[in-house]
A and B are shown apart, each in its own frame.
Chain A
Amino acid sequence: QQQVKQSPQSLIVQKGGISIINCAYENTAFDYFPWYQQFPGKGPALLIAIRPDVSEKKEGRFTISFNKSAKQFSLHIMDSQPGDSATYFCAASGSNYKLTFGKGTLLTVNP
């Protein structure tokens, strides 16, 4: 029940396209859903996060869509750029400090 399942494992997108990464969870106590971005040689960095009281959150080209009934959430990257090439991790947490992470998606944006 603590797992967060992330797909796809890898994704190749052309410059200007839309990148979509999906995550699903089982634990209904989860109430915080962040996405982290990790470049090679760097640690993960918080990209965007959402709470279940909203269905969508947008920050620039990055949007989280949240479906509480389906227990799914996704990251959309609009107008994908080569500089967006990185590994993306979804995560979820309940009312404590523990983040349960997905396995990650390696995104490659071709010029």
Chain B
Amino acid sequence: ETGVTQTPRHLVMGMTNKKSLKCEQHLGHNAMYWYKQSAKKPLELMFVYNFKEQTENNSVPSRFSPECPNSSHLFLHLHTLQPEDSALYLCASSQGFMAYNEQFFGPGTRLTVL
């Protein structure tokens, strides 16, 4: 595996389910990000981890819970989601913690909440 991988690629869940999204980066980077991409909207930064420490929680509802056990893995735990949470969830990583440190994105998980 190379770059940033995300699993699953597609997920359909009911509003009462609990599921997790997984991201793994094979680039040796030290920062990881979760973004939400909705149609006709700008990418929204949700969470940022720098050296496994969370440094950003961009007013994200508590039904989204991130976990970063090490600098290569990032999870997004989901529970009691709403239909408006349906979107493409993108993971990214970078070496360095400034915007000019190129962020490498995974292909995303397409989430549908019924």
Q: How far is the CB of A95 from chain B (nearest CB, A)?
A: 8
Q: How many A-B residue pairs lie within 8 Å, measured between CB atoms?
A: 55
Q: Do the beta carbons of B43 and A44 come within 8 Å of each other? A: yes
Expressed in whole angstroms, the minimum distance between the Cβ of A28 and any Cβ of chain B is 16
Pairwise interchain contact A103-B97, C-beta atoms closer than 8 A = no
Report the Cα distance A95→B108, complex, angstroms. 27
B107 touches A99 (CB 8 A): no
The dominant DSSP class at the A interface is: loop
- Size range of the chain B interface in the assembly: 20 to 34
Listed by A's residue number, 30 A-B pairs whose Cβ atoms lie within 8 Å are A4-B42, A9-B40, A32-B99, A43-B90, A43-B106, A43-B107, A43-B108, A44-B90, A44-B105, A45-B104, A45-B105, A46-B102, A49-B100, A89-B42, A89-B43, A93-B100, A94-B99, A95-B98, A97-B48, A97-B50, A97-B55, A97-B56, A97-B94, A97-B101, A98-B99, A99-B43, A99-B99, A99-B103, A102-B42, A103-B42
